[in-house]
Structure 1
Amino acid sequence: MSGGFPPSARLANEIARQFGHKPPADAATAIANHIKAVWDPRMKRALVDYVDAGADDLDPVAVLAANQVRATLK
């Protein structure tokens, strides 16, 4: 994918909105658990790569979640 907002980032933002009522650390853990359990490895990698590229349009809680997911990638 060249440029643009990747689907994995859009989905991470949508999930983050669903957890907006929780404290950020709790929300990030819940999001990361969902991503680890459900997402395809390519989507996980795309999200982490997007964070590494700057991801200034990604919800801060989604960034925290992506950093938790990073630890599980091979």
Structure 2
Amino acid sequence: MSDHVPSAKLRMANDIVRQWAHLSAQERSVRLAQHVNSFWEPRMHVRFETQVAAAGDTCDPVIVEAVRLLVGP
């Protein structure tokens, strides 16, 4: 069992992605990236990217791909 506890931003991203479970993984990644770009402050982008990188293999690949698609702050 992992002791890794996701950050609030990772939990939020997971919650958002779950809302689109009916879509393909690629479409969920695109929509999450669009959501983050539209509604999150630039400093939230930076923290989110850092937290996803720190989560490594425990992070949902959909979220990892969304971070790759983000427009820089």
The TM-score with structure 2 as length reference comes to 0.79
TM-align CA RMSD: 1.8
Structure 1 counterpart of 2:15? 14
Q: Which structure 1 residue ranges, 5 or more long, are not aligned? A: none
Q: Pick closer, same or farther for the CA change 1:5–1:54 going to 2, 3 Å.
A: closer
Shift of 1:50: 1.3
The TM-score with structure 1 as length reference comes to 0.78
Q: Structure 1 segments of 4 or more deviating over 3 A?
A: 54-57
Structure 1 counterpart of 2:25? 24
Q: Distance in 1 between matches of 2:24 and 2:5?
A: 29
Provide the identity percentage: 30
Please identify which structure carries the higher helix content. Answer: 2
